[in-house]
């Protein structure tokens, strides 16, 4: 999908769209309305028992601890990046109550214009608005979501500089939410060269790094090419399905500007969250050392996410709906723009919100429109999160995690059949 590069004035919704659709789904189900949850990006898997045990073992640790996180956690996070060929000083690691909080603190510390890929995760632009940062939305290359197209970013950086408000930073997502794609090493390389030319900080959101479906697919972090200007954010909410535990980590550049930025973020953190919860930090420190049971769980999760995302992709393809093939995480980004005239004639659907509303009201399928991710309201695209197809109970989710053919499990197959029927209703009659 090609969108024009533009500066935006973002208006905050009452609640973040992803959280709002999750709450709406829960209310529908509580009211007895059958609902297929494709709107909320939660990993949808039971917690690894070893993590539960370590959380319980640390339950009596109620002290605050350092703002940056306990030493054991920062050392474990440094080791995690070391094993990915990104040598890391534990003193340059900061832990927070989720990577979302760390991203907010980073934007607050920067206090300047930032470039975002279009489409991009709902909270980037919202957080920038909260701290008063101007945002520039920059289209991505086809099937390479999460990274602004370098040529377009170059033009935007020049325009921003000419306006008297030069860009301070660019945010990347590797692999991407909302499209489920992964930018190529060539695109990341070109972006790093541009960041050097325009003196941009790179904030690389790598929360889904461990969930690239094909472990052989090349993954290049900008920190490998531009170590002095790249901050990485990550956490355990996706690879280990610990979203509700709220634990994130950030890796700062080993440079004087990087150390100053880290110090500024810590000042902000000290006033916002004081320190992450001790029991969660201690359990996370164990997880980040990646013992065999953690590696096995992440590998099983990656396999399941890939299989069910591809199964959902097959349903979309069978209905003739355009979408980039999923490469990581559990997201798909179907675009029905090619059916625009027919959708308007048959169903009076002219916007992404109307499309998402039609699917929910007529077929009980919860999705999010592209407008939640920075696209125009008239863009007829949706973000689907296939991870919620695994089941509503831990028993079913565990079964999906370990089954050799999870797409054939009755509750997953039935939900995909409902989606297929809805698409046939939507497109076939349009």
* CA 260 vs CA 135, 226, 263, 408: distances in Å: 23, 17, 5, 52
Whole-number Cα distances in Å, 52 to 55, 122, 233, 302, 367: 5, 30, 24, 21, 31
Q: How far apart are CA 286 and CA 206, in angstroms?
A: 20
Instruction: Say how far apart CA 241 and CA 390 lie, in whole Å.
Output: 13
- The domain made up of 6-46+293-428 has a fold known as 3.90.1150
> How far, in Å, CA of 204 to CA of 227, rounded?
11
For the stretch 264-322, pLDDT in tens is 999 999 999 999 999 999 999 999 999 999 999 999 999 999 999 999 999 999 999 99
Indicate the fold that domain 61-290 takes in CATH.
3.40.640
Please report the pLDDT score of residue 21 as a whole number: 87
**Under 8 Å CB-to-CB from 417, ≥6 apart: which residues?**
none
User: Counting Cβ atoms within 10 Å, is residue 117 exposed (0-12), middle (13-18) or buried (19+)?
Assistant: buried
Q: E strands of 244-308, at which residues?
A: 248-251
Rounded (10°) angle between helices 49-57 and 278-288:
140
Question: What does the pLDDT read at residue 81?
Answer: 98
Q: Please answer whether residues 287 and 58 qualify as being in contact, where contact means their C-beta atoms are separated by less than 8 angstroms.
A: no
The 10 Å CB-count burial string (b at 16+, else e) for 259-286 is eebbebbeebbeeebebbbbbbbbbbbb
Residue 185: helix, strand or coil by DSSP?
Answer: helix
Domain segments of the chain: what residues? 6-46+293-428, 61-290
Residues of the chain predicted below pLDDT 70? 1-14, 429-430
Q: How much is the pLDDT for 13?
A: 53
* pLDDT at res. 387: 96
Asked whether this chain's domains 6-46+293-428 and 61-290 adopt the same fold, the reply is no
- For 295-310, how does the pLDDT look when each residue is reduced to its tens digit (9 = 90+)? 999 999 999 999 999 9
């Amino acid at each position: 999908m090609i969108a024009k590069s533009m500066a935006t004035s973002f208006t905050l919704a009452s609640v973040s769209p992803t959280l709002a659709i999750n709450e709406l789904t829960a209310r529908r189900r509580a009211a007895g309305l059958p609902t297929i949850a494709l709107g909320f990006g939660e990993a949808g898997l039971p917690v690894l028992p070893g993590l539960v045990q370590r959380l319980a073992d640390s339950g009596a640790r109620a002290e605050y601890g350092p703002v940056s996180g306990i030493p054991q956690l920062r050392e474990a996070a440094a080791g995690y990046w070391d094993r990915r060929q990104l040598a890391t000083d534990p003193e340059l690691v900061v832990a927070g109550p989720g990577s979302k909080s760390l991203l907010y603190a980073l934007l607050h510390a920067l206090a300047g214009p930032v470039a975002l890929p279009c489409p991009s995760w709902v909270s980037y632009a919202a957080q920038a608005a909260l701290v008063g940062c101007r945002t520039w939305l920059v289209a991505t290359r086809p099937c390479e979501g999460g990274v602004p197209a370098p040529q377009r970013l170059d033009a935007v950086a020049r325009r921003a500089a000419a306006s008297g408000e030069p860009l301070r930073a660019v945010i990347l997502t590797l692999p991407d939410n909302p499209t489920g794609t992964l930018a190529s090493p060539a695109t990341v390389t070109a972006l790093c060269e541009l960041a050097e030319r325009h003196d941009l900080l790179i904030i690389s959101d790598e929360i889904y790094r461990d969930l690239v479906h094909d472990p052989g697919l090349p993954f290049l972090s900008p920190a490998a090419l531009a170590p002095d200007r790249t901050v990485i954010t990550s956490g355990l909410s996706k690879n280990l399905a610990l979203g509700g535990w709220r634990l994130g980590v950030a890796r700062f550049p080993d440079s004087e500007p990087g150390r100053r930025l880290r110090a500024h973020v810590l000042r902000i953190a000290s006033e916002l969250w004081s320190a992450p919860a001790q029991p969660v930090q201690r359990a996370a420190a164990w997880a980040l050392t990646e013992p065999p049971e953690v590696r096995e769980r992440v590998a099983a999760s990656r396999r399941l996410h890939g299989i069910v995302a591809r199964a959902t992709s097959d349903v979309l393809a069978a209905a003739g709906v355009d979408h980039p093939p999923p490469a990581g995480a559990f997201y798909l980004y179907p675009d029905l723009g090619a059916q625009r005239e027919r959708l308007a004639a048959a169903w009076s659907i002219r916007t992404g919100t109307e499309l998402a509303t039609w699917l929910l009201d007529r077929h009980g399928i919860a999705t999010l429109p592209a407008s939640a991710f920075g696209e125009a309201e008239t863009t007829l695209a949706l973000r689907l999160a296939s991870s919620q197809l695994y089941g509503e109970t831990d028993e079913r989710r565990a079964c999906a995690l370990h089954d050799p053919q999870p797409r054939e499990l009755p509750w997953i197959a039935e939900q995909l059949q409902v989606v297929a029927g809805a698409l046939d209703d939507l497109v076939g009659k349009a």
